[in-house]
Amino acid sequence: MRARTFTKYLLTAGLAAAACAAAPAFAQAQGQGQGQGQDDGQGGDAPAQRGRRVVQPYIEVSQVVSAQLSPGNDVVTFTQVAAGVDINVQSRNSGASVSLRYERNIAYDDDAVDTDTISGIARGTLAVVPGTLSLEAGALASRSRADGGGAVTANPLVREDAESRVYSAYAGPSLRTRVGDVGIEGVARVGYNRFEIDNALVTQGGNAIDTFDDSITYMGQLRAATRPGEALPVGLAVTAGGFQEDIGNLDQRVRDLYVRGDVTVPLSPTLAVVAGAGYEDVEVSSRDALRDANGVAQRDENGRFITDSTAPRRIAFAVDGLLWDVGVLWRPSSRTSLQASVGRRYDSTTYYGTFTYAPSERSAFALSAYDGVSGFGGVINNGLARLDSDFEAIRNPVTGDFGGLVSGTQGQAIVGSLGSVRSAAFRGRGVNASYQRTVGRTTAALGAGYDRRTFIAAAGTVLAPLNGLTDESYYVIGGLSRQVGENASIATNGYVNWFDGAGGNDATAAGVSAAYNQSITRRLTGRAAISVDYVDSEFTAEDFAFATALVGLRYDF
């Protein structure tokens, strides 16, 4: 309990601090080709070009009724008290978006509902030297329901025994400058990630799954590049960098170091071919679990394996040698960009790329394919770093949870699906897409994705049986809001997550919600909402379905 309280305070501070820091995430690091150089040396756009300031603190008091539809018919009633703040501050060189909420559920006769939760997301950019040096930061606090080794929904049922908690935060500087014809870009960041669950997950076969606990991530990259047509007819670039994640479970370590050169050959003013080659050194290692006199691996009170700190470090995966890729770079306008590459990394074929299209401030589409080696925490940290610093978090109107989708200039889903929560490091490949559009008084956002994680574990350790196994997850998440007249609004949310775990640990979760808000005075708003959530999991013998309704008041300061 003390560890959980400390983590909540830590992430609250991180969410607040992120309001005054962060930089353009030109380097996407692990899972996006390491940000290794499909660029013409021009860099990205400034983080924000609009002057805007919105700071909205609020409090809410609501009465909630939750009815179990399946397998039982229990009904619980509780009072929900919440306080939060939504911030969006943008200037020419700096910007920040923050959505932070504390919620207390006060039960009448069911202790399982008597909970308190901190949730939110923050991403910011602070220009220390405008146009040259920036500070970047981001933080995330979210809830999920974990079944059979996978986090299947970011909108969990309100009962504490059915939830897990995800925390992530990072910070670091970003550099962009020019020395003659050479553009220099650098980025460095340190992150912390934590996954909390009260009890180890147990499959139907009776085998406990070792879930991720926490990790520290380090990332750094330095790049020097010339534009085509300046010093030479082609663009040249040299990039060096590295990524490391230290995972608390069994002292696992993922390390990826690289150096490479790239050449950009323009075919037209908007199209170029990009090719690169270099050297990489990738290693995944861990220690074994503490064992008793009979050789049985020992677990802590939460069901996770206890690390034997005296055991030798064992190599699970090691590759060093040539890396290469070729691709295209298409930029027909400042609002459209395509970068796609195919090559060889991690001693196998790799594909990755991004496509963004934002025809106006009212519409945006983004698509990305990724491939990288990391742990669970590295995925969350890198998702935060890719997020633009100008957005509005979309929350479940009943639970108040942040479900992973934001509405903003790039219409992005940050954690639409958390995927597998196993502790082992993995090679993660997948694709995700997001779309956002505003038409008149209606705003809609949609995210979808697929994630495949192939686990990497050292022979002779307790995680060895996981080596080569694969967990897959798919998700679709969306939200729609509309202003009705001058004093009312409606909002709807929906999600579907599918988790296909190794060993048949499958789970499906789906839910919909709708809310109506009516202004009573300039600052006081009446609220009514309803939601239905469904979970079908091999983790349990029966499916679960809940319907929840809320009526309450919100006061904006």
Rounded to whole angstroms, the Cα distance separating 499 from 316 reads 25
Please determine, for residue 22, whether its predicted confidence score (pLDDT) is greater than 60.
no
Please determine, for residue 8, whether its predicted confidence score (pLDDT) is greater than 50.
no
The pair of three-digit structure tokens given for residue 542, joined into one six-digit string: 């029966």
Rounded to whole angstroms, the Cα distance separating 196 from 211 reads 9
Do strands 363-374 and 348-360 pair parallel, antiparallel, or not at all (unpaired)?
antiparallel
Give me the residues paired with residue 284 across strands.
254, 317
* 8 A C-beta contact, residue 284 and residue 294: no
Query: According to the CATH classification, is domain 2-556 in 2.40.170?
Result: yes
Express each pLDDT in 193-218 by its tens digit. 999 887 666 555 556 678 899 999 99
Name the residue with tokens 């999920």: 144
Rounded to whole angstroms, the Cα distance separating 458 from 474 reads 28
> Tell me, what amino acid is at 466?
L
**Can you give the pLDDT at residue 18?**
41
Rounded to whole angstroms, the Cα distance separating 338 from 271 reads 9
Q: What are phi and psi of 20, to 5 degrees?
A: -125, 25
SS3 category, 522: coil
Closest CA to 157 of 236, 229, 271, 76: 76
> Tell me, what amino acid is at 68?
Q
Express each pLDDT in 135-156 by its tens digit. 999 999 988 766 555 555 544 5
Name the residue with tokens 């949609």: 446
Closest CA to 507 of 144, 138, 139: 144
The pair of three-digit structure tokens given for residue 272, joined into one six-digit string: 């170029």
Please determine, for residue 164, whether its predicted confidence score (pLDDT) is greater than 50.
yes
CA distances in angstroms from 389 to 24, 133, 139, 407, listed in the order given: 8, 16, 12, 11
Going by pLDDT thresholds of 50, 70 and 90, the confidence category of residue 186 is very high
SS3 content of the chain, % helix, strand, coil (to 5): 10, 65, 30
Longest dimension (CA), the chain: 75
Predicted TM-score (pTM) of the model is 0.83
Domain boundaries, the chain: 2-556
Closest CA to 144 of 204, 212, 197: 197
Name the residue with tokens 């009633």: 77
Give me the residues paired with residue 499 across strands.
473, 507
Q: Identify the burial level of 169 via C-beta atoms within 10 angstroms of its C-beta, where 0-12 means exposed, 13-18 middle and 19 or more buried.
A: buried
Going by pLDDT thresholds of 50, 70 and 90, the confidence category of residue 11 is very low
Where is pLDDT greater, at 339 or 36? 339
Rounded to whole angstroms, the Cα distance separating 241 from 260 reads 9
**Can you give the pLDDT at residue 291?**
93
Going by pLDDT thresholds of 50, 70 and 90, the confidence category of residue 273 is very high
Express each pLDDT in 99-119 by its tens digit. 999 998 888 776 656 778 888
Going by pLDDT thresholds of 50, 70 and 90, the confidence category of residue 452 is very high
CA distances in angstroms from 21 to 28, 48, 171, 193, listed in the order given: 18, 13, 8, 19
Rounded to whole angstroms, the Cα distance separating 453 from 436 reads 28
Angle value at C-alpha 123, between 258 and 88, nearest 5 degrees = 155
Going by pLDDT thresholds of 50, 70 and 90, the confidence category of residue 35 is very low
With the CA atoms of 534, 537, 539 and 544 taken in that order, what torsion angle do they form, in degrees rounded to the nearest 10? 30
Mean pLDDT (whole number) for 124-138: 92
Going by pLDDT thresholds of 50, 70 and 90, the confidence category of residue 46 is very low
Indicate if the alpha-carbon torsion angle 370, 375, 376, 382 is positive or negative: negative
Give me the residues paired with residue 75 across strands.
67
Please determine, for residue 20, whether its predicted confidence score (pLDDT) is greater than 50.
no
Express each pLDDT in 387-440 by its tens digit. 888 888 878 888 787 766 676 655 455 555 577 888 999 999 999 898 888 888
**Can you give the pLDDT at residue 545?**
87
SS3 category, 4: helix
Kindly provide the residue ranges of all beta strands, DSSP E only, lying in 108-207, ordered along the sequence. 115-129, 133-147, 150-153, 164-179, 182-196, 201-202
Rounded to whole angstroms, the Cα distance separating 420 from 502 reads 10
When mean pLDDT is compared across 257-261, 387-391, 452-456, 470-474, the lowest value belongs to 387-391
Mean pLDDT (whole number) for 161-167: 75
Residue 206 backbone class (left: φ over 0; alpha: ψ -120 to 50; beta: rest): left
**Can you give the pLDDT at residue 71?**
79
Please determine, for residue 43, whether its predicted confidence score (pLDDT) is greater than 60.
no
**Can you give the pLDDT at residue 179?**
92
pLDDT averaged over every residue in the chain? 83
Angle value at C-alpha 281, between 195 and 213, nearest 5 degrees = 10
